[in-house]
Amino acid sequence: MEWVDKLDGGGVSRVEYLSDHPSIWLGRVIDVGEGTAMRVLESLQNGESVESILSEPDIAAKVAGRRAQREVLSEAIMSDLRVEDRLAIVRLENLDIRSNGYHVTALVGDRCDACVIVHGDVGASFGEEGKYPVSASFYTNSFLHENGGLYDLTLLATRFDQDGGGHANACGCRIQPLSDGMREDRSVVHSDIEENLAAWLEMWAER
């Protein structure tokens, strides 16, 4: 139950998140594949240890797959990561890769107070099969700020996107087409990403 609380309540430390603790990996594979969660639950009800569950051939294969995915994700993050004014910025657009804030802030450590992750496909719109409009997600570095961040990140998420939002420490929005800081009625292009980021950095600087 201690680890259920940690994983479900966001109480995992940076050291734990980056570790190879069995409970961390069980949490990462429990939603992989149909029936995995029920099988894990039944094994736990039967008194099996986490280590024993992870050693089962099909579960072990899922762990190996997740390890490989995380290595690819970490490399992608570190290859296009910059930290400006303690805001970590990661560009993952058009890579068919997504990340959560935990992964980014765990890699960056105490060099950032929050992060913004750009993902999705430039020029895409809702309804396109296999595509998602290029968007940004904002996360407080909860490893560093356990009781809430230094800035209400929803102010960034709603700056240009009226449908953006979430809560102060985790939120998101779509990248908007901009010209000189004003929204335009056209499709998003690559240059819009940096224009959105520049405006957000100006707001962030006023925290």
pTM: 0.87
pLDDT for position 8: 55
Task: Taking residues 174-201, report their average pLDDT.
Answer: 95
**The residue type at 44:** L
| Model confidence pLDDT, tens digit, residues 51-101 | 998 998 888 999 999 999 999 999 999 999 999 999 999 999 999 999 999
Arithmetic mean of pLDDT, 122-143:
88
CB 54 within 8 A of CB 25: yes
Residue 106 confidence (pLDDT): 96
**What does the pLDDT look like over 11-52, one tens digit per residue?**
788 998 899 898 888 888 887 666 777 888 788 888 888 899
Question: Where are the chain's structural domains?
Answer: 2-75, 82-204
> Is residue 9 predicted with pLDDT exceeding 70?
no
pLDDT for residue 131: 85
CATH fold for the domain made of 82-204: Diaminopimelate Epimerase; Chain A, domain 1 (3.10.310)
Mean pLDDT along residues 192-198: 97
